[in-house]
Structure 1
Amino acid sequence: MGIGPKAIALVSMIGVLSSAVGLAKAQEFSDVSADFTTLSESFIRDGAFIPVPDVRSVEQRSGLSINKREVERLLGSPNDMRSTFQDDNWLYNINLPLSESDYLVCQYRVSFQQDVMISTEWRRPQCERLYMELSEPQEYNLSADLLFAFDSASISSEGENAISQVAAEIRQYFESPSISILGYTDRIGPSNYNMQLSERRAEAVATALIKSGVDPRWIKYEGRGASDPVISCEDVKGNELKSCLAPNRRVYISLSERF
């Protein structure tokens, strides 16, 4: 037997009345708030700032009979209150940086069998993605036309701002990086001159990074002249050729963490 129209109307009315009663009762209560400092440890989860290279070093040695002592040397003791040195599953709360002033607290598990590490795992996919972004080599392809005036190795104000931003990211995300700076020109002009210009530009970028707080021991630079062009512009001449070849005038910065 189906429900008739009157029954449906009655059920709807009961639902409305229930909602109204519920709202009235809810209004009898004042807003509830909790002081962050009064919450117990079970409500608060903060992590340790473990360098990403140390985490990557552990993962790269998976399957190579790395034991608990070696993991502890790289990551420290498990800092989650639910795991101890004797457990086969170590839980870490690790702070992965999102910006200079913010970070994401991520849970990380290292599993052992008979004291030998057998696997590692991030609890949340977004943490794994962030970790991969932080651990992969960073690459910057900067337009020489942004960094320098045409036929110049003096860095412009726009170029200084761009390099300052790169330096800030280096300081934030890397512990001891290897930084390679390659300068390139277009094919206009003598090849020897272009080679010298590209090297002076690479050196100027290296100097700017150092002024922005990057350790000079991490940096090496090299001029490549007009080699490895991005575009050829074979049928273009005159002023249009200069514009067409702009992508070839660049400074390439590659960063990778030392292990």
Structure 2
Amino acid sequence: MMIFNKRVLLAGLVAASAALVQGCVTSYSENADGVNFPDIPHSYIEEGTFVDPEAVLRISRGQTKDQVRALLADPHFDEGLFGNREWNYIFNFYTDTVPEGYMTCQYQVGFNSEVLVERTHWKNPACADLLVPVEVEEIADDKVVTLSADVLFDFDSDVLRLEGRRSIDRFADVLTAEFKNPRLQVFGFTDRLGDDAYNLKLSDRRAAAVKQALIENGVSAYSIQAVGKGESNPVASCPGVSGNALKECLQPNRRVEILITEAP
């Protein structure tokens, strides 16, 4: 009898350990891309939390779990203690597009075998539009999409952020759906802070990064011209402003513009 009890106890410990490793969530549903998300009733915080959108934008490939936790806090589901490669959150974002005044979004961070950030997903694609809207504006006979460089890239970097790349993915979908034979000019711009020559090179690299992302989405390389414009064509001048206030005031100048024309 004593041997039997020990075996039962051992089996219970193994089951408990497996539960810790796998987490307690058992009910999932898929998004349009086939990515599984835990159902909200299994969350510790079913109502979600209001998160700073900038914190989500700063999630980048190669970050550790501690770095993700510093930006987003602990995941909102029982993800298990060991070996888990997905953290799931429920976030609320203020918006005037819905009667409630805010949208509830499920967000997932995926880690690789080295437990570093590898990917992110939204259950509802509309949530990505709240952070980085892709709007096509008509100017004369052309159409222009303007994206903030501060949203697309980290400071002093030409590597697209995860949400920045997702915005380029969505733009590529717009091209496919709304244009038959588009020609694109991708212009990178910086503010006037810093060395002129360095800013020109940075803007050129950023324009090239957007072009490459479009090519990876199936847009013909021959239809895209990428040009760095540096500090030229500012949309904000900010006279009499200095310090951090100047950097914030000049933000509209740090941008990527995509000019779209239909080829005959």
TM-score norm. by structure 1 comes to 0.47
The answer to which structure has the higher strand fraction is 2
The answer to which structure has the higher helix fraction is 1
